[in-house]
Amino acid sequence: MRIITDLEFKTDTPTAVALGTFDGVHLGHRAVISAAVENAKANGLVSAVFTFSGLPKNAFLPEGKRICPLCSFEEKARLIEALGVDLLISPEFTRELASMPPEDFVKDILFGRLGARHIVCGFDHRFGFRGLGSTELLLKLCRGAGVGVTVIPPVMDNGERVSSTSIRALLENGRVSDARRLLGHDI
């Protein structure tokens, strides 16, 4: 798997891209990434993941209030690679990126730099300035450009949605085996 850590790149081949923060690469994240890998294989595309090296929320929080990621960047990359991804794009989340309008993110980065022909994200994915980009906006922009989109519904476990927040809560309450089950891998 090739890892790119900046936005000064342009792929030579079209991609199927999974979008998300992927903190912990839990079962829900695996569903998103696996759908992109499967689409890439079925359509002769390069499978790609666009994420960030850190947690975007932390860019806006003071030092003492920042959220601890569920795994290191190295572990996240290893878990993503194990799912068969060809290309990991993981820049640092900066204020410049945070100020990018959602339409520009889709057109300039996903279409322009990544050559996206198919995009996969979770049902609640947000992107662009102040998280104003939604799955509905993504569908609209992609439809107009002839780019496919797959929106993955929530992955459930015992009636509860699998999320990084719920896994953090389990860990804080000492429920390591439950957290491990939702992650789908050891901690």
Quick check: 59 pLDDT over 90? no
Quick check: 33 pLDDT over 90? yes
The single residue listed with the structure tokens 């601890």 is 68
pLDDT band at residue 21 under the 50/70/90 scheme: very high
Q: What is the pLDDT of residue 68?
A: 85
CA distance 121 to 20: 7
For 123-168, list the strands marked E by DSSP.
148-152, 156-157, 160-161
Section 166-180 average pLDDT:
93
Q: pLDDT, tens digit, for every residue of 62-97?
A: 888 888 889 999 999 999 999 999 999 999 888 788
How high does pLDDT run on average in the chain? 93
**Which of 145, 142, 99 has its CA nearest to residue 119?**
142
DSSP letters spanning 3-14: EE-SS----SS-
Q: Which two tokens stand for residue 128?
A: 């662009």
Q: What is the pLDDT of residue 61?
A: 76
Please enumerate in sequence order all residues whose Cβ is within 8 A of that of 75, keeping only pairs 6 or more positions apart, or say none: none
Q: pLDDT, tens digit, for every residue of 4-17?
A: 998 889 999 999 99
